[in-house]
Amino acid sequence: MAGGLFFVLLALDQLVKLLVMTTMTPGESVPVIKGIFHITYVLNPGAAFGMLPHQSWFFILAGAAMIAAFCFYYPRLKRRCGYFHYGCVSLLAGAVGNLIDRIRSGLVVDFFDFRIWPVFNIADIAIVLGVMSMIYAILYKEKEMDE
Sign of CA dihedral 95, 96, 101, 106: positive
Catalytic member of 13, 101, 110, 113: 110
| Largest interatomic CA distance in the chain | 55
Catalytic member of 13, 101, 113, 124: 124
- For the chain, what's the residue count? 147
pLDDT of residue 146 exceeding 60, the answer is no
From CA 73, how far away is CA 43, in angstroms rounded?
Answer: 33
The predicted pLDDT at position 91 comes to 95
The predicted pLDDT at position 147 comes to 52
pLDDT digits (tens, 9 = 90+) for 60-93: 999 999 999 999 998 888 788 889 999 999 999 9
CA proximity to 40, closest of 31, 49, 50, 51? 31
pLDDT digits (tens, 9 = 90+) for 34-65: 999 999 999 999 877 677 777 888 989 999 99
101 catalytic residue (yes or no): no
pLDDT of residue 145 exceeding 90, the answer is no
- Let me know: does 39 contact 111? Beta carbons within 8 Å: yes
The predicted pLDDT at position 143 comes to 66
pLDDT digits (tens, 9 = 90+) for 98-115: 999 999 999 999 999 999
What integer best gives the mean pLDDT of the chain?
Answer: 92
Please give the residue range of the domain that contains residue 47. 2-146
113 catalytic residue (yes or no): no
Q: Give bridge partners of residue 36 from the DSSP assignment.
A: none
pLDDT digits (tens, 9 = 90+) for 119-143: 999 999 999 999 999 999 999 876 6
Structurally, the chain folds into a number of domains equal to 1
The predicted pLDDT at position 133 comes to 96
